[in-house]
Amino acid sequence: MNAILAILAVTVGYVIYYFAWNSVSLRAVFVKKWGGERTKIYWIYFVRWLGVLVFGVVPVVICLVQDVDFQSIGIGFKNFTPTVLWTLGLGAVMVVVNYFAARSPDNLAMYPMIRTTPPWPRKVLIGSALTWAAYLLAYEFLFRGFLFFSCYEEMGLPLAITINVSLYVLVHVAKGWKEVVGAVPLGIVLCLLTLKTGTIWIAFLVHVAMGWANEWWSYYYTKR
């Protein structure tokens, strides 16, 4: 039952997020209220906090109603040393990879997500980093936490990884084939490391390193 609820949470949550992100009328509300450069900033903050709601808050409520043990879905603190080592290793790889990947025209057409004219004020740099981290925490709680562990418990490892990576790939389709292709190996690795450590923290921290590196390198190349 929990696996089904987790799959539904991903599916319904992403549909809500996708249509809100692409809603012309909703974006027009922000344009009307703030206009200009501030709209570009507050709109990104809004969609990220919407992601926190649909990918984090709603699944947490489902888990509470279902009396799910949060430790059993990766919300705990254990295996500290392997978590730190894997995070530092993979995080460093993501920073280097994004140094080269971020300069491509395809990437710069999408990132940085805040499309204001450089230089950004310090509060925007900090605000963007924090909202990215909040969004990715909710995202990993749902994907590598609730979804992965529920499917693993009820269906076994091969099917749990297949479902997890398939949905992970689908939510990247709108961002182009490069992100779709990259989501497959990364999704598998993050699932295996999540299972190995019993927590979502490697997946979360590596995802944050990747998101921040891509944003900051993209910002750097845009500003040049």
| Residue 158 pLDDT | 98
Per-residue pLDDT at 37: 87
| pLDDT of res. 117 | 87
Placement of tokens 């990918």 in the chain: 55
3-class SS of residue 98? helix
Which residue do the tokens 């501030």 mark? 38
| Per-block mean pLDDT, blocks of 10 residues, the chain (224 long) | 96 97 95 90 97 98 97 95 97 96 94 93 96 98 98 98 97 90 96 97 98 96 85
Under DSSP, the state recorded for 69 is -
Instruction: Give pLDDT, residue 176.
Output: 87
Distances (CA, A) of 111 to 75, 145, 220, 221: 30, 27, 11, 10
Q: Which pLDDT does position 155 carry in this prediction?
A: 97
Element counts in the chain: helices (H) and strands (E): 11, 0
Q: Which residue, among 154, 140, 172, has the nearest Cα to 74 in the 3D structure?
A: 140
In this prediction, residue 36 carries a pLDDT of: 82
Torsion of CA 14, 187, 222, 135, to 10 degrees: 40
- 194 in Cβ contact with 148 (< 8 Å): yes
- Residues 6+ positions from 58 with CB-CB distance below 8 Å: 9, 13
Q: DSSP readout, 114-149?
A: S-PPSSPPHHHHHHHHHHHHHHHHHHHIIIIIIIHH
Count the domains in the chain: 1
The pLDDT, as a whole number, for residue 35 is: 83
Question: What range does the domain containing 59 cover?
Answer: 2-223
